[in-house]
């Protein structure tokens, strides 16, 4: 007999949303209690983060989150679930597609990336970086400097809609535009057969904007420590802006959407 789909899908960014790294109490224990309550009534929860999978597991342990997520979206696009023979495994064919698309993106747009490298090195104080896993990105010296770099990317990418990036404050990683936190959450919902009306998404930074979209999740929220662009986006979308930071704000948002009805 097929397992019924979860009653809810609760999706959270990690740093700044579930965890306030600079806070006195980075992860509020009551948030764990609330997640256990929702799991008892059939919900599944997912961490949707720019961290790699290993970094995500380290963060869960570091902050004493004594509850394993049902799914993890790592590096903003790769979907994992607990496996039988190893702790985590790819869920469906999505990760393979995402990795292939990234490799093609790097080959097709090598000239664009070189152009951006020259711009960053000659016209800014930012640093252009390449990683061992094929990552290409930028670290700016301020949010304002990164705003300017993003404006250049947008202007030069108009003719190539697949050029995208994941931005978190002063950090940016280039990517295929079709693979993001939002598209990964949409694919996870498709695999689980969960309608958007039964999906919650919470985030605090630029790279969360694609999942803080009512076409993906009908219930969207941010904590009080979210960047201004996220708060403005949620105001336009009719989302919920919490009065408290990080996990306390997420508790507030879950109560607003699901516990006052």
**Residue 205: CB partners within 8 Å, gap ≥ 6?**
13, 16, 167, 168, 169, 226, 227, 230
Q: Give the span between the Cα atoms of 27 and 124, in whole angstroms.
A: 36
What is the predicted pLDDT for the residue at 24? 85
**How is residue 204 written in tokens?**
């605090």
Helix axes 94-108, 110-123, angle to 10 degrees: 70
Q: Give the span between the Cα atoms of 207 and 230, in whole angstroms.
A: 9
What is the predicted pLDDT for the residue at 84? 77
Q: Give the span between the Cα atoms of 40 and 42, in whole angstroms.
A: 5
Mean pLDDT by 10 residues, the chain (261 residues): 83 97 90 96 97 96 94 97 88 96 94 95 96 88 97 90 95 96 98 97 98 97 98 97 98 93 54
What is the predicted pLDDT for the residue at 261? 54
Domains of the chain: 8-76+180-258 (3.40.50.1000), 96-176 (3.30.70)
Q: What angle do CA 27, 29, 33 make, to 5 degrees?
A: 125
């Amino acid at each position: 007999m097929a397992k019924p789909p979860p009653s809810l899908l609760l999706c959270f960014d990690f740093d700044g949303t579930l965890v306030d790294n600079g806070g006195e109490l980075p992860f509020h224990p009551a948030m764990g209690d609330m997640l256990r309550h929702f799991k008892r009534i059939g919900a599944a929860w997912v961490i949707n983060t720019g961290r790699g999978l290993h970094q995500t597991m380290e963060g869960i342990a570091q902050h004493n989150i004594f509850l394993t997520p049902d799914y993890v979206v790592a590096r903003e696009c790769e979907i994992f679930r607990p496996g039988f023979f190893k702790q985590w495994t790819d869920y469906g064919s999505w990760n393979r597609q995402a990795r292939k698309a990234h490799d093609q993106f790097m080959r097709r747009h090598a000239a664009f990336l070189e152009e951006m490298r020259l711009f960053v090195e000659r016209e800014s104080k930012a640093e252009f970086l390449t990683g061992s896993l094929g990552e290409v990105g930028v670290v700016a010296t301020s949010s304002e400097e990164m705003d300017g770099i993003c404006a250049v990317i947008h202007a030069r990418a108009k003719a190539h809609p697949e050029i995208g990036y994941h931005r978190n404050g002063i950090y940016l990683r280039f990517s295929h535009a079709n693979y993001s936190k939002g598209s990964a959450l949409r694919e996870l919902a498709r695999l689980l057969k969960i309608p958007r009306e039964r999906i919650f998404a919470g985030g605090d930074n630029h790279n969360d904007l694609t999942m803080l979209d009512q076409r993906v999740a009908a219930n969207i929220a941010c904590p009080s420590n979210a960047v201004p662009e996220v708060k403005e986006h949620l105001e336009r979308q009719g989302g919920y802006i919490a009065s408290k930071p990080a996990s306390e704000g997420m508790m507030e948002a879950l109560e607003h959407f699901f516990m006052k009805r």
